[in-house]
Structure 1
Amino acid sequence: MTTLAAVGITTATFLGMEFVAWFMHKFVLHGALWFLHRSHHVRHPHHFERNDFFFLFYGALSMLCIIYGSPTKDWRFWVGIGIAAYGSVYFFVHDVLIHGRLRFWRKSGNAYLRALNMAHKMHHKTTGRDGSQEFGMLWVSPRYFALAWRKPAPKVRGRISSHQ
């Protein structure tokens, strides 16, 4: 496989995972698997949530693709790398930046990251299964960009958001 093909497959997988994440979040997590995802929408004193089990599913899928594609570095390997890359970005953006599950990333003056945080807060405004909006992780509706550009960047050092 050429380097260009490998980069193309990895990039396409990474970008496609945003749609997969949106679809799964909207129709499966807020649907049949709400009993697991609910833990992410309510305040709790625990370090881990039932919702964290979804990491195991995508991690296992990525790992299997990498393992079975490794001998020949075929498309499965690069799909696995794309899923792993998306999962890594998801962890840092969603769990670290937005929810502050690790306390090393502070508030940002970056308009994109602030818009992303606003959209996620809007998603968590509803604590029930129905009525939520903004199900994606990296794609942000233009209205939140407009808000982020109008609202001044935070001056106080601290977490960008507590767990909603």
Structure 2
Amino acid sequence: MGRKKIIPAARLIALAFLLVAPTACMPNYRAFMKQADSLGAACNQAAAQFAVTPTTEARQEALSKLKDLNDALIKTAGYEREARRTNSVDLIDANRAFLETGRAWGSCSLEYNRVLVAIGERDTARHNYQGLLSRLTAPQFVAERRQIQQALDELDGAQSR
């Protein structure tokens, strides 16, 4: 008789674990959005510092911040892709996290590349702009692609003058 009471309790514990375990492993998309904001602000600050003082150290700092944003973009893209694949209820949040991270990365990349153009590194900037266009292909990034294409067109127009 005591054994019969243990089995339902064990089943209840197992069921509770199965219900809680997936939510414990789920990414915190709001945290990713906040991270995108803070990484974007740090990156824009580093790009602005590079614009004021185009030293090797300032350039490395800006590149480091861009790498941090790129890593976050890759991570959120994976979560967004998985949420889309599984038709998850978290798809909207995953998409928003991916969008915010991509926007922060694109914005900082634009600022960094404008500095490269200003200091005469047009070929490097052109290469970076083309890389940005190839990376931000998701439909959420229409506005960012337009800005990048405009910067690339301005760069090509300035070079042909």
TM-score range, shorter chain: 0.3 to 0.5
TM-score normalised to structure 1 length: 0.33
TM-score normalised to structure 2 length: 0.33
- Kindly indicate which of the two structures has a greater share of residues assigned to helix: 2
- Greater gyration radius: 2
**Whose relative contact order is higher, 1 or 2, with alpha carbons under 8 Å and at least 6 apart?**
1
